[in-house]
Amino acid sequence: MDSNPTTDRIPYRRHRLAIALGAGLLLSAGAMTGCSDDRPSSAEKTPLGQQQGGADGSFETIEDGKVIARINDSPLYQENLEVVKENLGAEVPEDRLVSRMVELRLLANRAREEGLDRDPRTQARIQNAIDNQLANAYLVDYMSEMEVSEADVEAAYEKEMDALGEETQYRAMHILVDDEQTARDLIAELDDGADFGELAKEHSKDTGSGEEGGDLGWFSLDQMVEPFAEAVGSLEPGDRAEEPVESRFGWHIVQLEDTRPMPKPTLEQMRPELEDSARRDAINDMIAELRDSANVEILSSDVRSMVERDGNGSHESNDKAEAIGGDATGDSGNVGSDDTENETSNETDEKTDMDGLPAEPLKAMP
């Protein structure tokens, strides 16, 4: 049984700046064509108002698109197929994929015939999906033209080093057993001159370190369970704890071998994260400029108070970017997959916090 008291935390984690093109948009081009002309007039002020009705055989087109099929006069484009293949990220036979896309279009058209495209909630999902896709496209284009200077990287590195501070690492040995009496018996043997490493190999439940004579290697105190960390931190190099230490793993016999300042990562080791951080800062600055220059009027007092709270929190942390919207993932997980059930948009609606927002690139930024 491997009962190492360390956690999975590492002193320095590397993040990747991800632009997540939402899987819910797999068939946005195909699924959003042909809304009926008798939709509510309020839709004229949204992207829905730019679409053509399907009743007269006219459908929204992809400019310069290559038509590979027609479903009751509704064109299916090669571009529709390529977007789905790109987003699936898996090898799916093209004929099967086209077949699924045809079925999806037929179902979508039946929904239009029954007036489901005029449901406000459905229209909201479509509008959010359009906003999401355009936001994705803009951010991808924005980042492709973004240049991170060496000065920016070096400044970010210095900032990270200042924040990292001077942390101490410890190298310790331990023997882990099930009960206090066994631990005290082993401490008595050590007091009589027994070899720590040999006892660890013979008795320690922590087989990982036990094979190394109890050696845990270098670690930070916050990587260890609290009772063990407190015991290690109270010792001087070369000392052994006089009393056994109890943790949720069992009873430890602890001996501190040495301490050292934590080695700091070099600029080159951190370069990918530093460049990501610079890009993230640039995106946040750009979004802040957009908001500052926009005329945004929040009509509901309840929503206004929530936006204000969210705005205050966003200045304190870059972990979550601001966005306003709703469910954008839709039902497209059913397209191009094997004959298994997939998550639906109803399940997406149940997500909390920022998970249901349409601006996927913003949500994915670390």
Question: 253 and 305: one domain?
Answer: no
Q: Can you read off the two tokens belonging to residue 134?
A: 């355009």
Question: 174 and 97: one domain?
Answer: no
Question: 239 and 291: one domain?
Answer: no
Question: 78 and 223: one domain?
Answer: no
Q: What pLDDT is stored for residue 191 in this prediction? A: 95
Does the pLDDT value for residue 180 go beyond 70? yes
H helix or E strand, kind and range, residue 131: helix 120-144
Boundary of a domain, candidates 261, 294, 316:
261
Does the pLDDT value for residue 214 go beyond 80? yes
Q: Does any domain span residue 8? A: no
Q: Does any domain span residue 215? A: yes
Q: Does any domain span residue 269? A: no
User: Residues 154-159: what's their mean pLDDT?
Assistant: 87
Question: 186 and 224: one domain?
Answer: yes
The chain-wide mean pLDDT, for the chain, equals 73
Question: 102 and 180: one domain?
Answer: no
- How many Å separate Cα 308 from the centre of its chain? 25
> What are the phi and psi torsion angles at 69 (to 5°)?
-165, 160
> What are the phi and psi torsion angles at 342 (to 5°)?
-125, 170
**Whole-structure pTM value:** 0.47
Boundary of a domain, candidates 212, 230, 261:
261
CATH number at residue 197: 3.10.50.40
Question: 304 and 338: one domain?
Answer: yes
Boundary of a domain, candidates 261, 296, 322:
261
Q: Does any domain span residue 331? A: yes
Q: Does any domain span residue 162? A: no
Domain hosting residue 88, numbered range: 23-148+275-364
Mean pLDDT comparison of 257-266, 297-306, 313-322, 337-346, highest-scoring range: 257-266
Does the pLDDT value for residue 171 go beyond 90? yes
Question: 125 and 214: one domain?
Answer: no
User: Residues 185-197: what's their mean pLDDT?
Assistant: 95
What's the number of domains the chain is made of?
Answer: 2
Q: What pLDDT is stored for residue 144 in this prediction? A: 86
Q: What pLDDT is stored for residue 280 in this prediction? A: 87
Q: What pLDDT is stored for residue 344 in this prediction? A: 35
Q: Does any domain span residue 7? A: no
- Which pairing describes strands 250-261 and 245-247: parallel, antiparallel, or unpaired? antiparallel
Does the pLDDT value for residue 360 go beyond 50? no
Contacts 24+ apart (CB under 8 A), 233-240: 233/170, 235/172, 240/190, 240/196
